[in-house]
């Protein structure tokens, strides 16, 4: 068991014993990864904030059913993911483009030629546009692996699927992204 999971278990035990303020420690520990996970799915800053907060509220309401020894974030992520997928299904209008929310900025050196800088900027825009055109499930797995740096095993746990499935889904999502980029390049 990882040190963070052991700490989570201690916090959850305190929460289940009635110490409400201990939940704030869990929220502080996981609010940033929760936000970025929601953002990867819904593509909207405001929706990601709203949904990650909603998921924390739902998790708190169900904390008595949390099984010790399990990963809190994995359990929480399932709640968050379901909320995000429901929002996508129910929303009549398209979310803000995901790429507007992803920090893909590159620090340009002062020695960069303006034409090189312009070319890089155009390439970033093309990548952002291609990411926007991926299906939410494809974007989710690409973001979890390539932007957030989760391992295959961690993604498998988050998505509740075998590690081989994660690798396969990631392969096809990256292939789709590559195809979209080839169309514009």
Q: How far, CA to CA in Å, does 68 sit from each of 1, 63, 86?
A: 11, 10, 28
Which residues, in sequence order, are CB contacts of 122 under 8 Å at separation 6+? none
On whether the CB atoms of residues 141 and 174 are closer than 8 A, the answer is no
Task: Say what the pLDDT of residue 91 is.
Answer: 67
**93: which 2 tokens?**
């209008």
Q: Are 93 and 62 in contact (CB under 8 A)?
A: no
Structure tokens at 171: 């392969």
Q: DSSP class of residue 100?
A: G
Lowest mean pLDDT among 21-30, 37-46, 166-175: 37-46
Residue 1 has what pLDDT? 43
Split at pLDDT 50, 70, 90, the class of 173 is very high
Alpha-carbon distance values, 170 to 44, 99, 146 (Å) = 22, 19, 10
Q: What confidence score (pLDDT) does residue 4 get?
A: 61
Comma-separated ranges of CATH 1.10.1740.10 domains in the chain:
3-90
Tokens 């055109």 found at: 133
Take residue 149 and report the two structure tokens written for it: 């740096």
Spatial separation of the C-alpha atoms in residues 157 and 105, rounded to whole Å: 30
Note the pLDDT of residue 79: 95
Candidates 3.30.565.10, 1.10.10.10, 3.30.360.10, 3.10.180.10; correct CATH number of 116-184? 1.10.10.10
Q: Average pLDDT over the chain, rounded to whole?
A: 82
What is the rounded distance in angstroms from the CA atom of residue 185 to the CA atom of residue 179? 10
Kindly report the pTM of this predicted structure. Answer: 0.66
User: Is residue 38 within 8 Å of residue 56, measured between CB atoms?
Assistant: no
Gap between the Cα atoms of 101 and 48, Å rounded: 10
133-160 average pLDDT score: 88
Q: What is the structure's pLDDT at 49? A: 93
**CA–CA separation, 49 and 51 (whole Å):** 6
DSSP string spanning 119-131?
HHHHHHHHHHHHH
Q: Where in the chain is the domain with CATH 1.10.10.10?
A: 116-184
How does pLDDT run across 83-109, given as a tens digit for each residue?
998 888 776 444 444 544 454 444 444
Q: What is the second-level CATH architecture of the domain 3-90?
A: Orthogonal Bundle (1.10)
In this predicted model, what pLDDT tens digit does every residue of 31-89 receive, in sequence order? Answer: 999 999 998 888 888 899 999 999 999 999 999 888 878 889 999 999 999 999 888 87
């Amino acid at each position: 068991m990882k040190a963070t999971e052991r700490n989570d278990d201690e916090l959850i035990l305190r929460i289940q014993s009635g110490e409400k303020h201990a939940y704030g420690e869990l929220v502080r520990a996981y609010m940033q990864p929760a936000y970025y996970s929601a953002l990867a799915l819904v593509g909207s800053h405001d929706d990601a904030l709203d949904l990650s907060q909603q998921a924390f509220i739902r998790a708190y309401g169900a904390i008595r059913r949390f099984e010790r020894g399990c990963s809190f974030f994995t359990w929480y992520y399932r709640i968050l993911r379901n909320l995000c997928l429901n929002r996508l299904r129910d929303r009549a209008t398209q979310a803000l483009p995901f790429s507007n929310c992803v920090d893909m900025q590159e620090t340009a050196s002062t020695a960069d030629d303006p034409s090189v800088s312009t070319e890089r900027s155009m390439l970033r825009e093309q990548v952002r546009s291609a990411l926007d055109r991926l299906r939410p499930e494809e974007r989710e797995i690409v973001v979890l692996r390539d932007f957030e740096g989760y391992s295959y095993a961690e993604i498998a746990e988050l998505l509740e699927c075998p590690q081989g499935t994660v690798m396969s889904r990631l392969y096809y999502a990256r292939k789709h992204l590559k195809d979209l980029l080839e169309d514009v390049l």
